[in-house]
Amino acid sequence: MIPERFAPVLAETADLTRRFRAAGHRLFLVGGTVRDLLISTDHDQFDFDATTDARPDQIKRLLAGWADAVWTQGERFGTIGAKRGERVYEITTHRSEAYTDESRKPEVVYSDSVEVDLSRRDFTINAMALELTSDTPTLVDPYGGAADLLTRTLRTPLASEISFSDDPLRMLRAARFIARLELTPVPELVDAVRQMAGRLAIVSAERIRDELDKLITVPHPSAGLWFAIDTGLADYFLAELPAMRLEQDPIHRHKDVLTHTLAVVENVRPPQEWPERQFDFRRTRLAALFHDVGKPRTRGYQKGKGVTFHHHDAVGARMTRKRLTALRYSSEDVESITELVALHLRFHTYSMGWTDSAVRRYVRDAGDLLNELNVLTRCDCTTRNERKAALLSRRMDDLEARIAELAATEELKALRPELDGVAVMALLGIPPGRAVGEALAFLMEIRLEEGLIGEGAATERLLAWWQSRPA
């Protein structure tokens, strides 16, 4: 019996279904689309994936006149994309695919059987299909995916070794589904990942990066991250993570860095849970994941202070840049996340008493990352001491209030000298060059230390500084 929630989907695909049936082909909704329809009533939030016995050329002919747009970038893998209205469809010829021992790209083999196609899917919960072209829409579930979804079990349709050999990225994908759907992997799946983790080396950095992004942005990623760490999988794409699992020191007490890190990641909540805060969720989550990666390399002991991690922010920033670059993150991502790691300790001196100048410098150094830095700073507090946590929260509230107050009067978002380079050259009668840069740096120091003093006063101070310079 097909759930009532499928009715809007069946109505939306009715015209397409008739085209395939009239041409003598079968059409199935498949994979994640079926899974999500079984657990959600909101079918507007995802695209539709379908599979068919029709070959790519036949799919294109059947889409002609129905779809508003068709694209063929995935044709060599048997996939034709289409858009009708606001909905995106991907229709793929039944296939099986496998990696050779040393290949980064799968070899695609077409099939006429949906059951064979489903057998090569990653997990049973994604190995279900809904046949649209049958007299009555029928759920095809040869591997018990619906039951596994109900019992929150993660397993592969075939032996896990076969599934992960077909595509080693599935091992990392397992981590995402464990986290996203709160699934428990069967023991044989866990054993296979432990034995085959090294196969991840044949997967491109770009695919690993994209899968890491998907994992880090699920509401509660910790279980998936622990899975990647405990199975040894993280050793092959993010070795800095298991390295943070420092031994507990019964004498020189300190938090387990890894446990703390994952708690900070969890503390960075999705934007819909923090509607009052505007920030880049993915980048802030990644910054939380990396913010303490420098601690293992900087761990020391100082008498009277216990365990120390001096300069772990700077060391961690260098490590973050190297790892993100290796994972082929964009230069913008690399720069932003690295900067957040480098700045994440800045707030810890606030209790010493920040002048307005210090607040301005904090804003200046954070730049466009101010909101992300403030969120990361708040989330870095994982203490179970309620009194201490409340104190840190109040301090952060106070800092943000001061930033808002200064911003209202000083345009903090555009911190710059009150005179620009053109004005400096005109006042001093000098051409472009090093002296102009020095003059602007002087004016910027005034701006940071004293705030806005007015163009007249800035001019006087500049001329006095210029006269006092050594010849």
Q: Which residues contact 296 (CB under 8 A, 6 or more apart)?
A: 243, 244, 246, 257
Please check whether residues 360 and 286 belong to one and the same domain: yes
Q: With the CA atoms of 14, 17, 23 and 25 taken in that order, what torsion angle do they form, in degrees rounded to the nearest 10?
A: -160
Q: Would you state the structure tokens that stand for residue 269, as one six-digit string?
A: 């909540």
pLDDT, tens digit, for every residue of 168-185? 999 999 999 999 999 999
pLDDT on residue 98: 55
- Specify the residue for token string 């109900």: 150
261 in Cβ contact with 289 (< 8 Å) = yes
Distance CA 440, CA 433 (A): 11
Let me know if residue 197 belongs to a domain.
Answer: yes
Q: Pick from 153, 152, 170, 151: which is nearest to 161 by CA?
A: 170
Q: What is the pLDDT of residue 251?
A: 42
> Does 202 reside within a domain?
yes
Please state the pTM of the whole predicted model.
Answer: 0.82
Q: Are 81 and 71 in contact (CB under 8 A)?
A: yes
In a domain, 253, yes or no: no
In a domain, 245, yes or no: no
Query: pLDDT by residue (tens digit) across 42-56?
Result: 656 667 899 999 999
Sign of the four-CA dihedral 200, 201, 207, 209: positive
State how far Cα 469 lies from the chain centre.
50
**343 and 230 belong to one structural domain:** no
Which residues are bridge partners to 185 per DSSP?
A: 154
Joined together, the tokens standing for residue 78 give 């048997």
> Is the residue at 259 inside a domain?
no
- Give the bridge partners for 4, in sequence order: none
CATH at 205: 1.10.110.30
Q: Among 304, 305, 321, which residue's Cα sits nearest to residue 313?
A: 321
Task: Say if residue 142 is in the same domain as residue 212.
Answer: no
Range of the domain at 49: 4-149
Per-residue pLDDT of 404-456, as tens digits, reads: 887 776 665 567 787 888 887 888 888 888 888 888 888 888 777 777 788 88
Residues 365, 458 share a domain: no
Residue 405, CB half-sphere, CA atoms under 13 Å: how many? 8
The type of residue at 155 is R
Claim to verify: residue 342 and residue 301 sit in the same structural domain? yes
* Order of all β-strands in the sheet with 87-93: 69-71, 79-84, 87-93, 48-52, 27-30, 129-131, 138-140
Looking at the fold, whether 159 and 221 belong to one and the same domain comes out as: yes
Alpha helices in 250-329 (DSSP H): 257-267, 281-290, 295-298, 312-326
Same domain, 144 and 161: no
Both 442 and 338 in one domain: the answer is no
Report the Cα 334 to chain-centroid distance in Å: 12
Which of the listed residues 219, 237, 255 is the one where a domain comes to its end?
A: 237
CATH of the domain at 109: 3.30.460.10
Residues 227 and 292 both lie in one domain: no
Element containing residue 91 per DSSP (H, E): strand 87-93
Query: Is the residue at 226 inside a domain?
Result: yes
- Rounded Cα distance between 146 and 458, Å, is 72
| Residue 254 domain flag | no
Task: Mark whether 199 and 271 lie in a shared domain.
Answer: no
User: Across the chain, what does the average pLDDT equal?
Assistant: 87
- Give the pLDDT confidence score for residue 412 in this predicted structure: 59
Domain boundary among 221, 237, 253: 237
Taking the C-alpha atoms of residue 56 and residue 79, their distance in angstroms, rounded to an integer, is 7
Do 131 and 161 lie in a common domain?
no
Q: Residue 163 to residues 268, 437, 451: CA-CA distances in angstroms?
A: 33, 60, 62
**Do 207 and 269 belong together in one domain?**
no
The residues of the chain scoring below 50 in pLDDT are 249-254
Number of domains forming the structure of the chain = 4
| Residue 302 within a domain | yes
Angstrom distance (rounded) from CA 162 to CA 174: 14
User: In the prediction, which pLDDT does 246 show?
Assistant: 67
